[in-house]
Chain A
């Protein structure tokens, strides 16, 4: 089976029912997509297939003939981060970082699909199936909205947290 991964042709030797997640991680060494549940119910394995976010754990090789696949590894590197990566970093949207790759790709697809700044409700609608146990989702929402506006603060985003000193 032949398909394109991050711009490069790949010929998979895996069996037709092998999941794309497996091919990415074990055959190509692209370990950004994570095996969080392998039931399609956490989103940590989400990648882009022909520009659309899809669970790589639910997608078998036999359906990928000629497909173009984008993984987190192609979004940007540390010196050239994408808008979404910048926003996730500046907004502290990653805590443990395990769900982050799937969130980044789903957010990238949402923003490109809408082609305009998105509302929080739209983020919930698009990313609501992605599971995160650490953040309470607050900063993920912040980051996606900021990225959709093309914001690059160049500094860490301020927190809404109110801090009060107490006189000893």
Chain B
């Protein structure tokens, strides 16, 4: 029997139903300490004083760490892509969001650690905070970072952008221009298992870190940067994780427990409470998307302009990447020959936002598809017809010039209609994703067409490409 294509049992099925699967929190070690954190109660403030002396002498406490204990405190989640580090592991002179980490205690019990956290003395000078990303450039708004409230992809260009085709001509030719605003909100990844880590300083100088990370090597890289250690000195243990949905790419519990385990010379476990998960961990970003479509009376989309603002929260995490990905997908499943898209990463005093299932595209899909239904309504056209007509065909090009080799929007729509009991006219039911021709190839779509080529990394003779494609 072939394994591929078969509904084989889960590899970990029996382990799951007997609770034999081991998650990070299920490991304990002799002498293990529990970590608890002091977090910012305010959205924006200068830290005037931070005194851990009393906390460090509380019963059961083995170590208290602040930013000065972290070998390299400020690291970025996108340094591998050349984006400057901006986020302190533990706050230094300021806090930029409610829940930001300031200090962490390791004690023999959770309760002792909690009590010791409550004994840390900290004094804030609150500052006005910035929350509405639409006002990022307004002169009366406070600045989240010393560089202002908008990230610059390039020194002279803040936005990630797409420019494709003659957008001005498309809007000049249009019969109707439909504009709308779409604002998907921030939500929690909320996996059942809270973020947890257990770090052990080994006698040979290495550090073993049990991690709930979704990306062991990625998290190991970030942890190594904080510790100023080569990654070879770290060993990440994990691979069995209680859900992630993007939230467990953020790497905070691992470096924090590593730093404090090295200081305390004891294993340290840190398991976030649900409240920390809900209030202090990253969320899916809130987005603001404005779309203007230049359309013809008979339902062709000639051009599209967009403005997107992405609420990154107080630090960058993975926002710049999310916004690039978002921008590439603002034409949705459709062929639009003229595109002008501008996407901005806006820093606010919200909790940093990061990856969540659909990363950057969920917001684009929501905005684009809701807008498509509106365009259909304005034109008095059936929403199925509008979609089927403009849907990508073989040889159509995306806003970032990807040539579609075999897009299946037409097929999925037709099958969905059938499954939902929607009776489409025979002309639509007969549509395929074959290269455009005849009535489906109006003049405005001719120039964007390309002939798809066989991919360099395509499988051949039942085996994958054995070498990279560059």
Contact A89 B192 (CB under 8 A): no
Q: At the interface, yes or no: B9 with Cβ under 8 Å from chain A?
A: yes
User: Which of B8, B9, B19, B194 makes the CB contact (< 8 A) with A100?
Assistant: B19
| Stretch from B238-246, B324-332, B456-464 forming part of the interface with A | B238-246
Q: At the interface, yes or no: A23 with Cβ under 8 Å from chain B?
A: no
Q: Cβ of B240: which chain A residues have Cβ within 8 Å of it? A: 97
Complex CA gap A85/B13 in Å reads 10
Contact B18 A37 (CB under 8 A): no
Q: At the interface, yes or no: A72 with Cβ under 8 Å from chain B?
A: yes
Closest Cβ of chain A to B2, distance in Å, is 15
Contact B243 A133 (CB under 8 A): yes
Contact A96 B193 (CB under 8 A): yes
Contact A85 B273 (CB under 8 A): no
Q: At the interface, yes or no: A164 with Cβ under 8 Å from chain B?
A: yes
User: Which of B18, B192, B241 makes the CB contact (< 8 A) with A78?
Assistant: B18
Q: Knowing A38-B273, A96-B193, A133-B191, say if A164 contacts B18 (CB, 8 Å).
A: no
Closest Cβ of chain B to A54, distance in Å, is 17
Interface code B257-285, partner A: CB below 8 Å = 1, 0 otherwise? 00000000000000101100000000000
Q: Knowing A36-B193, A96-B241, say if A77 contacts B26 (CB, 8 Å).
A: no
Interface code B217-248, partner A: CB below 8 Å = 1, 0 otherwise? 00000000000000000000000111101000
Contact A96 B242 (CB under 8 A): yes
Complex CA gap A37/B242 in Å reads 13
Q: At the interface, yes or no: B57 with Cβ under 8 Å from chain A?
A: no
Contacting residues of chain B (164-210) with chain A, CB-CB under 8 angstroms: 190-194
Closest to A101 in B: B19
Q: Cβ of A95: which chain B residues have Cβ within 8 Å of it? A: 243
Contacting residues of chain A (114-146) with chain B, CB-CB under 8 angstroms: 131-134
Interface code A30-63, partner B: CB below 8 Å = 1, 0 otherwise? 0110111111011010000000000000000000
Contact A36 B192 (CB under 8 A): yes
Q: Cβ of B13: which chain A residues have Cβ within 8 Å of it? A: 89, 92, 94
User: Which of B7, B9, B26, B243 makes the CB contact (< 8 A) with A134?
Assistant: B243
Contact A72 B19 (CB under 8 A): yes
Contact A89 B190 (CB under 8 A): no
Contact B14 A89 (CB under 8 A): yes
Interface code B9-25, partner A: CB below 8 Å = 1, 0 otherwise? 11011111111111101
Q: Cβ of A36: which chain B residues have Cβ within 8 Å of it? A: 192-194, 274
Q: At the interface, yes or no: B424 with Cβ under 8 Å from chain A?
A: no
Q: Cβ of A88: which chain B residues have Cβ within 8 Å of it? A: 16-17
How many positions in chain A have a CB within 8 Å of any CB in the partner chain? Answer: 45
Complex CA gap A35/B242 in Å reads 12
Contact B411 A132 (CB under 8 A): no
Q: At the interface, yes or no: B145 with Cβ under 8 Å from chain A?
A: no
How many positions in chain B have a CB within 8 Å of any CB in the partner chain? Answer: 36
Q: At the interface, yes or no: A104 with Cβ under 8 Å from chain B?
A: yes
Closest Cβ of chain B to A6, distance in Å, is 12
Contact A166 B192 (CB under 8 A): no
Q: At the interface, yes or no: B378 with Cβ under 8 Å from chain A?
A: no
Contact A89 B25 (CB under 8 A): no
User: Which of B17, B243, B408 makes the CB contact (< 8 A) with A96?
Assistant: B243
Closest Cβ of chain A to B105, distance in Å, is 19
Q: At the interface, yes or no: A151 with Cβ under 8 Å from chain B?
A: no
Q: At the interface, yes or no: B370 with Cβ under 8 Å from chain A?
A: no
Contact A81 B14 (CB under 8 A): yes
Contact A42 B191 (CB under 8 A): no
Q: Cβ of B440: which chain A residues have Cβ within 8 Å of it? A: none
Q: Cβ of B122: which chain A residues have Cβ within 8 Å of it? A: none
Q: Cβ of A104: which chain B residues have Cβ within 8 Å of it? A: 17
Interface code B72-109, partner A: CB below 8 Å = 1, 0 otherwise? 00000000000000000000000000000000000000
Contact B17 A94 (CB under 8 A): yes
Q: At the interface, yes or no: B441 with Cβ under 8 Å from chain A?
A: no
Q: Cβ of B118: which chain A residues have Cβ within 8 Å of it? A: none
Contact A99 B10 (CB under 8 A): no
Closest Cβ of chain A to B407, distance in Å, is 12
Q: Knowing A34-B23, A44-B192, say if A133 contacts B274 (CB, 8 Å).
A: no
Interface centre among B12, B17, B21 (most CB of A within 10 A): B17
Given contacts A25-B26, A36-B192, 16 further A-B contacts (CB under 8 A): A31-B19, A34-B192, A39-B274, A42-B192, A81-B17, A85-B18, A86-B17, A89-B9, A89-B10, A89-B16, A89-B17, A92-B10, A97-B15, A97-B16, A100-B19, A166-B408
Closest 3 CB pairs of A and B: A98-B242, A32-B19, A97-B16
For this complex, 15 residue pairs linking A to B, each with C-beta atoms less than 8 Å apart, are A29-B28, A34-B25, A35-B194, A41-B274, A44-B192, A73-B19, A75-B18, A76-B18, A92-B10, A94-B10, A96-B191, A97-B12, A99-B192, A100-B19, A131-B192
